[in-house]
């Protein structure tokens, strides 16, 4: 098994800065914006993006987390998946632009589950998707609005995102 590093700490920071700028441009500012991360690493990325959006846009942006575990269609194959916390910011998501943040976009099934979970919480005006890595191989018609890096990969390869808040180091690696 070989592992190669495809993003280092500075690369991750640049990608998140670009994503934050693109979110601000797309939303025409930070008004009525809510950023929700999908556990585990999506939450850390969402917090970083929210901080950058606030820094660049001049205002604080509500940030939270959206657990999708019970909405997944693969629980029978992965029964050990433990539910995480869902934290919706004060003010909710009704009529807001919600940016879902995940670390790696692969089949699209986590995002489908996130859209189902959002329906149970409220009705946003719009939902956008930000991902640090888009590796392709979609099984569902889901496309990210904001991408840190497109990383074409073989289906059998594994993409690992490691973040300081969760793993103690910053890198994205690909194992083959």
What spatial distance separates the first Cα and last Cα of the chain, rounded to whole Å?
A: 6
Q: How many domains does the chain have?
A: 1
CATH of the domain at 127: 3.40.50.2020
Residue 133 lies in a domain: yes
CA-CA distance, 58 to 147, in Å (whole number)? 23
In a domain, 63, yes or no: yes
Report pLDDT digits (tens) over 49-98.
Answer: 999 999 998 689 999 999 999 888 776 666 566 788 899 999 999 999 99
Residue 42 lies in a domain: yes
Would 82 be classed as within a structural domain?
A: no
Does residue 77 belong to any structural domain of this protein? Answer: no
User: Quick check: is 76 in a domain?
Assistant: no
- Domain range for residue 142? 3-70+87-175
Residues 100-136 have pLDDT tens digits of 999 999 999 999 999 999 999 999 999 999 999 999 9
Scanning the chain, the segments in alpha helix (DSSP H) are: 9-27, 41-57, 109-121, 164-167
In contact, 2 and 174? CB cutoff 8 Å: no
State the residue for tokens 């979970």: 117
Secondary structure (3-state) at 117 = helix
| Contacts of residue 67, Cβ cutoff 8 Å, sequence gap at least 6 | 38, 39, 83, 84, 85, 86, 117
Three-class DSSP category at 157: coil
11 burial level (CB within 10 Å; 0-12, 13-18, 19+): middle
Task: Return the pLDDT at 80.
Answer: 61
- Asked if residue 117 is part of any domain, the answer here is yes
């Amino acid at each position: 098994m070989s592992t190669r590093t495809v993003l280092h700490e500075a690369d991750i920071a640049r990608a998140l800065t670009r994503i934050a700028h693109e979110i601000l441009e797309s939303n025409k500012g930070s008004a009525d914006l809510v950023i929700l991360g999908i556990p585990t690493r999506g939450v850390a990325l969402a917090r970083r993006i929210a901080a950058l959006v606030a820094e660049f846009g001049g205002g604080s942006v509500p940030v939270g987390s959206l657990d999708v575990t019970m909405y997944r269609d693969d629980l029978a194959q992965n029964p050990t998946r433990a539910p995480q916390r869902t934290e919706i910011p004060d003010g909710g998501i009704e009529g807001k632009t919600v940016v879902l943040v995940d670390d790696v976009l692969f089949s699209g099934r986590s995002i489908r589950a996130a859209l189902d979970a959002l329906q149970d919480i409220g009705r946003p005006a719009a939902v956008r998707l930000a991902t640090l890595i888009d590796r392709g191989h979609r099984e569902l018609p889901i496309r990210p609005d904001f991408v840190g890096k497109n990383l074409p990969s073989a289906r059998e390869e594994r993409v690992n995102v490691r973040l300081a808040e969760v793993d103690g180091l910053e890198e994205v690696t690909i194992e083959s």
